[in-house]
Structure 1
Amino acid sequence: MNAAAAGGGAPGPWGPPPAARPGGDPGALERALREVAPERYEAYEGMLRALAEGQVWMLLWHGSAGSPDAQYGNMDVSGHGYAPAVTSPEQLASSGWARGHEVISGQEIAASLYRTRWGLWLNPHAPGGGVGIPWADLRRIAAGLDRLPAGPLHLSEPQVQAPQFYGLLEHQALEVRAVRALRRAWVRPAVGEPYLAIGLELYDTSPPAVEAVRALMQRAIAVAPEGLAVSTVAMGDEYDPVAMWMRANARPFFDREAAGRPPVAPYPAQAYPPQASYPYGTQPPPAGPGWPQQPWPGYPGR
């Protein structure tokens, strides 16, 4: 990756560089890391919050901070790519890293890495191998942790009985020109309450179309069973884990074209191929001869 594009000494595309950001406890991330362990999802969420509010020292395999040829390091763990980082100047010293580094906010590096499905590995030199943060969790940091469900997600076909809700959705979806198909899933996040997700496959994502779909969902939710939490998922979001699961596993309960209704939009809907599964949460320590590992080719960029 061209590291200069994600941070460095000049303002990046997601705001000012870390030094210009107010507040933040510089020791919060390291304290949170010490609490992380398998199955301790609340502790893992606390670590993600500390990363979102803090900064990391990215290890550069090539170049120096702010230079056009700067590249982050590259780790492969169980077939998934991660860029290594450390959490303080002290950790940088103890890592023995002799090449360049770049200080960047957690928000910025999360927004940069997840778009190419790269994760972030914190303190890989530490006893036990450090902590890996998969790209799906970096996406949550970039979008706002409270806006997206906490993994690992347990996804299944909904068992809730809501005939009036589904009936109204199907009936009115015929009248909303933008809607091609509707899918559904029952989502149980690791932290928080379960909910019903409705996947929206649209012909048109212009503001008028989105507003018409929003109004449709509001009308349907008004007749949903009491206490049922409902959320919508854009099937066109290639990074959303619920949409990925529904594309692979959930048949539409409303399909305009399967019902013999011709497309009504000026262009056809995009086809979404099945997506592979992805990791969530703490990953096992990297295998190999120890730190530093064999030379990395560098994060390949966006």
Structure 2
Amino acid sequence: MAAGETTEEGDVTGASGDPGAIERALREVAPERFEAYETLLRALAEGRVWMLLWHGTPGSPDAQYGNMEVGGHGYAPCVTSPEQLAASGWARGHEVITGLEIAAALYRTRWGLWLDPHVPGGGVGIPWADLRRIAVGLDRLPAGPLRLGEPQVQAAQFYGVLERQAGEVRPLRSLRRVWVQPALGEPYLAIGLDLYDTSPPAVEAARALVQRAAVHAPEGLAVSTVLMADEFDPVAMWLWANARPIFDREAHFGRPQGAPQPAPQPAPYPAYGYPVPGQGGPATHAPGPHTQAPGAQPPQGWPQQPWQGYPGR
């Protein structure tokens, strides 16, 4: 049976956890309650949702999800239980799918997931960058909204080692830096790795450089790395748009013979972004939750033009 396929009893292969966890978590989510939002993301990662089909039937070649737009960003609407499906009045088809599978499908096209848009207050939207966190692993990526800026920490010895040894790492085109303060957890220094070659050996060589230099970082300073080639990473997107290189091979040595042309850069920050709670337009930093303000009306006009579904179905 394929992942996400509905059984005769309505269960979904691969789904696990408490079937009521998503709805309980939804009731606790509110602006600035980041712990409650993280609980919702965990419940979604372990649970399942009922995707609303604007056209077609589950698994059919012409199946299309509905969509809605909030603050200029697209979301695919869903409901969180058979009871919510009935309450929504949805008269077309639906598809039951695990949270992990829909998260992995949607974030790659920069679509978010909107939970229970029919309920009073309008439900809760999960932006695509948080769906990416679910798909990759919530513990592997920082919790948003992120505050990103130029590092103020004094780490001259660390940077000196980086600059002196970076020239020896042949796949390395440039290095950038950013101070990352997650919504939950400790802030850290992130070093952006811009590589000619993103093969595993090249990535490992660049990360090993940062690890060697980190020995000389101030005590207590957490240092991480981010691949600049990751078009879905909000930290990399910020670095492309805002940070000057602290090491630039081509400025020092010229372009290596046979080196590939630089890959197209992601859309400039903050052209991606998410709606600010209670407002329209992109957020000033991202990723993070979007919930409508208490008492706000449900989003109008859903569904709009159908979304084309996700790859493989």
TM-score by length of 2: 0.87
Aligned to 2:280: none
Deviation, structure 1 residue 214: 2.4
Partner residue of 1:180 out of 153, 173, 182: 173
Q: Distance in 1 between matches of 2:232 and 2:255?
A: 29
The one-letter code of the counterpart of 2:202 is A
Ranges in structure 1 where 5+ consecutive residues have no aligned partner: 11-16
SS in 2 for 1:237: coil
On the 8 A contact 2:25/2:43 being kept in 1, the answer is yes
Task: Confirm or deny that 1:147 pairs with 2:147.
Answer: no
Deviation, structure 1 residue 265: 5.7
Aligned to 1:220: 213
Deviation, structure 1 residue 189: 0.5
Partner residue of 1:242 out of 227, 230, 235: 235
TM-score by length of 1: 0.90
Deviations 1:195-251 (A, max 9, x none): 000000001112321222122122111111111011101001011000111111111
Q: Distance in 2 between matches of 1:145 and 1:31?
A: 19
Deviation, structure 1 residue 67: 1.1
The one-letter code of the counterpart of 2:113 is L
Q: Distance in 1 between matches of 2:185 and 2:42?
A: 16
The one-letter code of the counterpart of 1:200 is L
Greater shift, 199-208 or 185-194, is seen at 199-208
Q: Distance in 1 between matches of 2:178 and 2:141?
A: 15
Alignment of 1:1-302 (within 5 A): 7-9=4-6, 19-21=12-14, 23-263=16-256, 266-273=259-266, 274-275=268-269, 276-279=271-274, 280-284=288-292, 293=301, 296-301=304-309
The one-letter code of the counterpart of 2:186 is E
The one-letter code of the counterpart of 1:81 is G
On the 8 A contact 1:118/1:134 being kept in 2, the answer is yes
Deviation, structure 1 residue 56: 0.2
Aligned to 1:13: none
On the 8 A contact 1:84/1:120 being kept in 2, the answer is yes
Deviations 1:127-180 (A, max 9, x none): 000000000100000000000011100001000000111011111110110110
Deviation, structure 1 residue 297: 1.9
On the 8 A contact 1:18/1:55 being kept in 2, the answer is no
Count the aligned residue pairs.
290
SS in 2 for 1:129: coil
Aligned to 1:14: none
SS in 1 for 2:74: strand
Q: Distance in 1 between matches of 2:69 and 2:138?
A: 26
- Provide closer, same or farther for how the CA distance between residues 206 and 264 of structure 1 changes in structure 2, counting only shifts above 3 A: farther
The one-letter code of the counterpart of 1:169 is L
Deviation, structure 1 residue 18: 6.2
Deviation, structure 1 residue 9: 4.3
Deviation, structure 1 residue 84: 0.2
Q: Distance in 1 between matches of 2:150 and 2:225?
A: 15
Q: Distance in 2 between matches of 1:199 and 1:262?
A: 19
Ranges in structure 2 where 5+ consecutive residues have no aligned partner: 275-287
Deviation, structure 1 residue 290: 5.9
On the 8 A contact 2:119/2:298 being kept in 1, the answer is no
On the 8 A contact 1:125/1:292 being kept in 2, the answer is no
Q: Distance in 2 between matches of 1:292 and 1:281?
A: 20
Q: Distance in 2 between matches of 1:6 and 1:69?
A: 19
The one-letter code of the counterpart of 1:299 is W
On the 8 A contact 1:221/1:230 being kept in 2, the answer is yes
SS in 1 for 2:292: coil
Greater shift, 109-118 or 251-260, is seen at 251-260
Deviations 1:88-146 (A, max 9, x none): 00000000000000000000000000000000000000000000000010000000000
SS in 2 for 1:208: helix
SS in 1 for 2:121: helix
Greater shift, 23-32 or 214-223, is seen at 214-223
- Provide closer, same or farther for how the CA distance between residues 289 and 28 of structure 1 changes in structure 2, counting only shifts above 3 A: closer
